[in-house]
């Protein structure tokens, strides 16, 4: 959804395991379960920013936003050039550009990826991973990326493929890797961040690390170290909204250009985060399939400046926690200690 859309009502889930449609029927005065389902099917209900089905099981603390019906975001097909990395009769993988929202949202007026998908592959509008009616707001979408995150995104062309790929996501057998340029120098240079993520109660646009939120894990490894920045490869073990951005910020290394969880940089005008590699089992052949996408021009340009010795933050002072980690990395490099020590960082 866009940051400009304004919900008519926001509710907090008060127990685990309740169906979304049952919750809305219970909490919305005068609403029947049928009416609640219609709101959900029309794309007017979001859970922590995501579209879900009526049968979705809520978790305690999740934020449920309900939007006015006049702002229904159902998308029409629209021609937007898509870079297709892989395609066969069952699935397609595209290289998503920056500044393109995946889902239509209340108040959205710009073209979205859904509209482009419907234009390129109109057949996906009728598929569903089960026997229920197809979801017109997520046609063929297996997963999603933030508006300004670039890289690999999967589209299923038939029900079997959609069900198989979503099952792989749920079972965590799908390997998704991202490149991220971050402030400072992670110490240790490789590790696992284990911290639960939920909607920030102080700002519903943001996610935050919260007790009783959804378990979330991100692996990372430093690929290249610069003066005040580092290039990381990150692995999503779980897949929460803004997960990599929140986790890296929480350990003192926000992504370059991420103004929501970090600070701006003169070297790039969005968060420097790119979905670079994807490994799945093909839904029909069951053979492993690995797809790759190199960083786009703006991240390549950022890396070029950093390799030439430019500072990520320019004249801005580096926050104290990030300065300490950068100094530690400098000491390691001078002493010749560049081993890939790993550590799990648990944040509660």
Q: How many Å separate Cα 317 from the centre of its chain?
A: 29
Q: Please report the pLDDT score of residue 126 as a whole number.
A: 80
Residue 326 has pLDDT above 50, yes or no: no
> What is the tens place of the pLDDT at every residue in 28-83?
876 788 888 888 877 789 898 788 888 899 988 888 988 876 544 455 566 678 89
CA 319 to CA 273: how far, in whole Å? 21
Mean pLDDT of 213-237: 96
3-state secondary structure of 93: strand
Half-sphere exposure in the Cβ direction for 218 (13 Å, CA): 27
Q: Is 259 helix (H, G, I), strand (E, B) or coil?
A: coil
- Out of 146, 187, 194, 228, the active site residue is 146
Query: How high is the pLDDT of residue 67?
Result: 83
Q: Which domains does the chain have, with CATH numbers?
A: 9-68 (3.10.290.10), 77-171 (3.30.2350.10), 172-348 (3.30.2350.10)
Band (pLDDT 50/70/90 cuts) for residue 187 is very high
Model's pTM, two decimal places? 0.76
CA distances 35 to 41, 99, 204, Å, are 10, 34, 25
Question: Is 175 in the active site?
Answer: no
Residue showing tokens 């209900």:
45
pLDDT tops 60 at residue 157: yes
Q: Within its chain, how far is the Cα of 205 from the centroid? A: 14
Please check whether residue 74 is in contact with residue 131, taking contact to mean a CB–CB distance below 8 angstroms.
Answer: no
């Amino acid at each position: 959804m866009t940051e400009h859309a304004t919900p008519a009502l926001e509710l907090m889930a008060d127990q685990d395991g309740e169906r979304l449609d049952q919750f809305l029927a219970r909490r919305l005065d005068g609403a029947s379960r049928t009416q609640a389902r219609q709101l959900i099917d029309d794309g007017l209900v979001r859970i922590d920013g995501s579209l879900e089905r009526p049968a979705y099981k809520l978790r305690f603390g999740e934020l449920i936003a309900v939007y006015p019906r006049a702002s229904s975001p159902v998308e029409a097909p629209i021609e937007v050039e898509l870079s297709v990395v892989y395609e066969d009769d069952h699935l397609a993988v595209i290289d998503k550009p920056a500044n393109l929202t995946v889902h239509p949202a209340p108040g959205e007026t710009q073209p979205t990826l859904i509209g482009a998908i419907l234009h390129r592959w109109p057949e996906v509008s009728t598929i569903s991973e089960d026997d229920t009616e197809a979801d017109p707001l997520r046609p063929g979408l297996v997963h999603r990326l933030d508006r300004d995150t670039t890289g690999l995104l999967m589209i299923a062309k038939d029900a079997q493929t959609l069900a198989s790929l979503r099952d792989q996501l749920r079972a965590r057998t799908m390997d998704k890797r991202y490149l991220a340029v971050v402030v400072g120098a992670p110490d240790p240079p490789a590790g696992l961040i284990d911290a639960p993520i939920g909607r920030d109660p102080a700002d519903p646009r943001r996610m935050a690390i919260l007790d009783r939120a959804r378990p979330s894990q991100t692996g990372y490894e430093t690929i290249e170290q610069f003066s005040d920045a580092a290039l990381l490869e990150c692995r999503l073990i779980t897949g929460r909204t803004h997960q990599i951005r929140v986790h890296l910020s929480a350990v003192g290394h926000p992504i370059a250009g991420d103004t929501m969880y970090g600070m701006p940089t003169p070297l790039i005008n969005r968060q420097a985060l790119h979905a670079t590699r994807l490994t799945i089992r093909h839904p029909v052949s069951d053979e492993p399939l690995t797809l790759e996408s190199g960083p786009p021009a703006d991240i390549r340009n950022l890396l070029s400046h950093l390799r030439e010795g430019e500072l990520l933050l320019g004249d801005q002072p580096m926050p104290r926690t990030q300065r300490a980690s950068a100094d530690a990395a400098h000491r390691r490099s001078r002493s010749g200690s560049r081993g890939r020590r790993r550590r799990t960082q648990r944040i509660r």
